[in-house]
Amino acid sequence: MARTKKQTELPGLEKSTHKELDTLMEEHAALASTLGETRQRMGELAEQMLAKAIELKLTVYRHETAVPPLVLTVTEGTAKLKVKPAVGAVVVDEAEVDEEGGEE
Burial bucket for residue 49 (CB in 10 Å: 0-12, 13-18, 19+): middle
pLDDT at site 23? 93
- Give me the tens of pLDDT residue by residue for the chain, a chain 104 residues long: 566 667 776 677 667 788 999 999 999 988 888 998 889 999 899 889 888 988 998 888 888 888 888 888 888 766 667 778 877 655 555 555 445 454 43
pLDDT at site 103? 46
- The three-state secondary structure class of 44 is helix
pTM of the model: 0.53
